[in-house]
Amino acid sequence: MLTDIQEYKSRIKNVLIRKDEIDKKLAEYGALITREYEGKPLLVVSILKGAFVFLADLERHIDIPFETGFMAAQSYYEGTDSSGEVTITYDLTQDISRYHVLIAEDIIDTGRTLKKIVEMLKERSPLSLKVITLLDKPSRRQVGFEADYTLFTIPDKFVIGYGLDCAEYFRNLPYIAEYDTKE
């Protein structure tokens, strides 16, 4: 457990994306989603835990009726490197065959997690299926996967804040920052 405030603050190396930059992109993409899905049954799916902050703020910029769903997938566990194994720990409860599905993800790194989720959901015959990600780190991609919408592309750095964590800490930061591993 990380309880020392000085240690906590010392792990925030530098801010990569400020809150005002995030807010501007959220408004832009919320308007785009509103136009694209107007008059269509939309289900926006958050991949927990990291995407919950992103999804909550994005949804406030979508001006059409829609439903929200949640899934949880895990590949990082306690460290800063992906284990390579993707486990679905919580699945959707909705029958998605009646919806246009938009998956909201916090970050696409290796691509394995989203590729597995997309393959799994396509088997359930949604009307359409797209992915929106807050962050994309294409230099780390290990499988062929690209989001339909990307708010920010970032370099190969381990990032925290705005829902992203390291061992469950730092999700509450209102910006995206580089994590200092102090190695």
Q: Which active-site residues does the annotation give?
A: 109
Instruction: Name residue 90's beta-bridge partners.
Output: 72
**Nearest-5° angle of CA 39, CA 42, CA 43?**
170
Strand pairing category for 128-136 and 149-153: parallel
Burial class (CB in 10 A: 0-12, 13-18, 19+), 35: exposed
97 — phi, psi (to 5°)?
-65, -15
Amino acid at 135: L
CB 128 within 8 A of CB 100: yes
Token couple for 127: 């009307």
